[in-house]
Amino acid sequence: MASAQTFTAGRRIVLALTGASGIELGAVALRLLAADARVERIYLLVTEHALRVMQDELGWRPGARSELPARLLDGGPGREKIEAPSNQDIGHALASGSFPHDGMLVLPCSMGTLGAIAHGLSDNLVERAADVCLKERRRLILAPRETPLNLIHLRNLLAAAEAGAVIFPLMPAFYDRAKTPEAIMRQFAARVLAQLELPQKEAFVWGEQAARADN
Ligand SMILES: Cc1cc2nc3c(=O)[nH]c(=O)nc-3n(C[C@H](O)[C@H](O)[C@H](O)COP(=O)(O)O)c2cc1C
């Protein structure tokens, strides 16, 4: 199973956005990470197909990759913490287990990337960085998004979980009574970041907070 050890003084977190629906959730997680004083460095990986989904879901015209962090942050703080290497840069430090970091989150995780991770393809930096997490027993959180799931998806989810990944499906909770899409996404992002030992102050905790009826 993935180690609970923290490797760096300020956290180094890998965030991968792949070509599944729910790109905005990846952006919400990025904003929380970038604003978090515990986080020193964010490696933002974006697949080619995630760029396409951004066109469809966010209405973005394709632009330079270097513009992505600022666009995703949408004016929020922490741009200087973010490095956004090419997904084709298989020689990046993240491709080696010798480079320490504190975990990787794939949000959203497409069925294509899930399959590649489950079968160790390592054909681009997202797949290779995930493979490194599994072999080094580091936290790897996959937030798959597809519905319904076919047998191949289910088998790949099982294979990834057996190899040590945490499967954190893109399924928001509703018991916190968050009402707006923004509030629902922030609660989801807060829950998933807790998996990287970055608990968020605003996260709803059952039994400790009254349900937020007026969110
Ligand atoms: C607008 C849009 C939405 C998509 N939504 C999903 C999705 O929710 N889940 C999924 O597995 N694939 C989805 N796809 C298909 C993937 O983008 C496609 O399989 C791609 O090859 C995944 O590549 P990647 O894993 O390298 O990003 C979507 C594609 C588009 C254009």
DSSP state of 129: H
In a domain, 140, yes or no: yes
DSSP E strands in the chain: the ranges are 11-17, 39-46, 82-83, 104-109, 140-144, 166-167
CA of 9 relative to ligand 1 center, distance in Å: 35
For residue 190, the SS3 value is: helix
Q: Domain residues for 93?
A: 11-194
Sign of the torsion angle spanned by Cα atoms 4, 7, 8, 11:
negative
User: What's the CATH number where 37 sits?
Assistant: 3.40.50.1950
Helices vs strands, H then E, count in the chain: 7, 6
| Residue 1 pLDDT level (bands cut at 50, 70, 90) | very low
Atom of ligand 1 at shortest range from CA of 53: 1
In a domain, 181, yes or no: yes
Q: pLDDT digits over 71-125, tens only? A: 999 999 999 999 999 999 999 999 999 999 999 999 999 999 999 999 999 999 9
In a domain, 86, yes or no: yes
Nearest protein CA to atom 1 of ligand 1, as residue: 53
Nearest protein CA to atom 17 of ligand 1, as residue: 19
In a domain, 105, yes or no: yes
Q: How many separate domains does the chain show?
A: 1
Atom of ligand 1 at shortest range from CA of 87: 26
Give ligand 1 pocket residues (Cβ under 6 A).
18-21, 47, 49-50, 52-53, 56, 110-113, 145-146
In a domain, 30, yes or no: yes
Find the distance separating the first CA and the last CA of the chain, reported in whole Å: 37
pTM of the model: 0.94
In a domain, 4, yes or no: no
In a domain, 62, yes or no: yes
Q: Are strands 140-144 and 166-167 parallel, antiparallel or unpaired?
A: parallel
Q: Alpha helices of 104-174 — where are they, by DSSP H?
A: 111-118, 125-135, 151-162
Nearest protein CA to atom 3 of ligand 1, as residue: 21
| pLDDT value, residue 156 | 99
In a domain, 208, yes or no: no
Chain centroid, CA 17 distance in Å: 6
| pLDDT value, residue 215 | 44
- The encoded tokens of residue 202 equal 């605003």
